[in-house]
Every structure is written in structure tokens, then in C-alpha cells.
Amino acid sequence: MTVDARPAPTTFYREIDRNRRRSWLLVAAVAAVLAALGGAIGQASGFGWGGVVFALVVATGMSVGTYFAGDALVMATSGAREIERAAPPDRYRQLMNVVEEMRLAGGLPPPRVWVINDSAPNAFATGRDPKHASVAVTTGLLDKLDREELQGVIGHEMSHIGNLDIRFTLLVGVLVGSIALLADWFLRFTFWGGGRRSSNDRGGGGGAGALLFFVALALAIVAPIIGRLVQAAVSRSRESLADATAVELTRNPVGLARALRVISDDREVLEVANRATQHLYIVNPIKSFEERAKSLWDTHPPIGERIRALEAIAGRMGQSEERRP
């Protein structure tokens, strides 16, 4: 009897499947919180499901504006300058070649390419779909990464585009926004006495009506916090998914692992980054007080955790990290 000593199939496919399942489970969790909150508020206030529908309509309307105009706003606030694909300056020729390599590997349309004049190395992707996508990198990234590391970063950003992460996070944003709108409305409704009147009218001041009202009130306070926590967890899951998908495009987990280490170890401050855009970047540009800590509010997995996952994949692929000189 012979034993098959061949290594297990490359694990980036498993990582991709695992992170996709986790993302959809998190979306289901947000939807369940919204349904529970909407049902409790509807019964406690006497408005039924009308309030939930109204909150969804308002949150969707706000998100549609972000969906179509959000990328232009992000580029404007970041001070990004678009690079002409037909005749790029010599300094950006390698960048354009790498973008072309990665988009062909992913079977994606050519994205618009932007450069941010900042010495801090970082990058992000945005856009509502692969046909309307943009990739932005800082000049610091181009100066401080070699070609393999740049491939890893661009592969990560093209993965965000191919995985429809902008659309996915928009869905989560609509659900979380609806939870916040419903909770805020019910708390204001309760403050002005509407909740107490509704409870008394429906149940004659009975214990069941009072219990339902207090359940709705508790959910209105807790649900937005849960929604934000799940939203951060979705963001972390999509970052891990993009790391794994980048390996599928580059077949080189070592390059991305090295790039993440260079970016995270760099002490330069990305001046154009802010709290509204930090989740877009490949590495959170806003340094935390304790970078080794893992917070439930973080939009990115810890860098060490991401690098270890890539190194584990590299080991199974028979690769090893070569240190820079």
C-alpha cells in the first residue's frame, strides 16, 4: 500500500471559499438584527413594518448617491492625479505594466489608474463595478516596493474589484444604515412619549405590552453597535479575501507578504487619509495607539495575521520568503 505524499491542493482556493462564506454569514447576521429590530419597533410603536420599509428606502437612496459619485469624491479628497494609459510618463511605466498584468490575470476590464503624491506607501481601489473601477497608489509605494511587491499590492486591489467588494460593502452599509435610522427614530419617538402611548393603547398597560416596548428600546440602543461591529468584521473578511485572491492572480504570496511588511513598518504618515477613507487602503493608514492589539472595530485584520496566512500558503506552494538586502 502506497501513501500519497503529495501536498494538499493550494490553500488559497480554500481561503477564498472560507472568506466568502464568512462574508455572507455576516451579512445574514446584519439582516437578522434589522429584522428583529424592525419587528420589535413595529409592534411596540403600532406602525408595523412600515417603518422598516421607510428606513430601507432612505438608506438605499443615500447609498445610491455614494455608489455613483463616491469614487470621484474619494479621488478628489485624496489629491489623486490620473495617469494616461496610452502614454504614461516613464516613472509610471512599470506601474501601468503591472496593472495590465494583474487585470489580464483576473479577466477584468482596464481600470483607471491614479497616483497620490505622498511619500507614505499605500494603495486602494474603488468604483461601483469592474467597468467603472479605479486603482490609486502613492508615490511612496512606487519608490519603496520592488516589482514583485508591487504585483502583490496591485493584485490585492484588482481582487477587490473582481470580488465586487464595493458593491458588497454597499449592501452592508444599506443594512447598517437602516438599523441606525430605525433605532434613532424609535428613540426619538420614545423620548416624546409615543412609545408609552402606543403600549398603553394596545395592551391596556399590560405586562406583555410593556415587555415588548422595553425589548424594542433595548434593541434600539444595542442594534446600531452590533451593526457597526459586523460592518467592521465584513471589512476585515473582504481584506482577507482580497489577500487570498491576489495569490490566485500572482501565484506569489511572498511578494504580497513582503509588501505588507514594508507598508506597515513605514513610519511616514499618509496626510490625505482620514477616518472616512481608511477602510479603502490595503493597510490602514491611521496608526493605532497599540498596533499589536486586535480590536473589534478594526477595518483590517492585524498585519501579522495577514502575513502569517500568506506565509502558510507560500509554504504549501513550496515557496519561501527571500529577505531584501
Give the residue numbers marked as catalytic: 157
Are the C-beta atoms of 255 and 152 separated by less than 8 Å?
Answer: yes
Q: What is the CA radius of gyration of the chain?
A: 23
CA distances from 108 to 111, 131, 151 (A): 8, 8, 16
Cα distance between residue 260 and residue 256, in whole Å: 6
* DSSP character at residue 111: P
Bridge-based pairing of strands 123-127 and 133-138 is: antiparallel
Beta-strand relationship, 112-116 and 123-127: unpaired
In this structure, the chain runs to a length of: 325
Nearest Cα to 14, choosing from 229, 284, 316?
Answer: 316
Task: Decide: 80 and 255 in contact? Cβ < 8 Å.
Answer: no
